[in-house]
């Protein structure tokens, strides 16, 4: 027997593929609950999202922002996680445009047409 995730599991019952599928299912549900995904989100998309999320985490951890006073147009989503307030202190001349969608839908129909206007 070994201890994994706070549970005792027999060595014969541990299957890494099943564990990853379970974790991806939890990620999928969390994304849906937070408005960052829809019911059509599949596990392959969650796998790609997880890879991007981990790369973003490393980049954000190592990033040291500097103030920029030039004009910036920040396009964000009204639903789900709000990131514009995080950038306001370093972007002195920021114009905020919020679209009525979640982050993952910004570049999909119909939001993409609003961006093109």
| DSSP annotation string for 49-92 | HHHHHHHHHHHHHH-----EEEEEEEEEESSS---HHHHTTTEE
What is the distance between the alpha carbons of residues 101 and 82, in angstroms, rounded to a whole number? 12
Residue 84 near residue 108 (C-beta atoms within 8 A): no
Band the pLDDT of 2: cuts 50, 70, 90.
very low
Hey, where are the domains in the chain? 1-63, 67-117
Angle at 32 between CA 62 and CA 50, to 5 degrees: 35
The per-residue pLDDT for range 31-90, each reduced to its tens digit, is 788 777 777 878 888 888 889 989 999 998 998 888 998 999 888 888 887 777 788 888
What is the distance between the alpha carbons of residues 104 and 31, in angstroms, rounded to a whole number? 10
Band the pLDDT of 12: cuts 50, 70, 90.
low
């Amino acid at each position: 027997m070994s201890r994994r995730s706070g549970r005792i599991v027999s060595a014969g019952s541990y299957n890494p593929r099943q564990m990853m599928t379970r974790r991806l299912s939890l990620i999928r549900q969390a994304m849906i609950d937070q408005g960052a995904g829809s019911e059509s989100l599949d596990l392959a998309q969650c796998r790609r999202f997880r890879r991007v999320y981990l790369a973003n985490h490393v980049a954000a951890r190592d990033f040291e922002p500097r103030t920029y006073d030039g004009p910036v147009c920040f396009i964000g989503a009204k639903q789900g996680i709000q990131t514009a307030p995080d950038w306001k202190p370093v972007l002195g001349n920021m114009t905020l445009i919020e679209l009525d969608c979640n982050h993952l839908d910004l570049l999909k129909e119909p939001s993409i047409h609003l961006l093109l206007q």
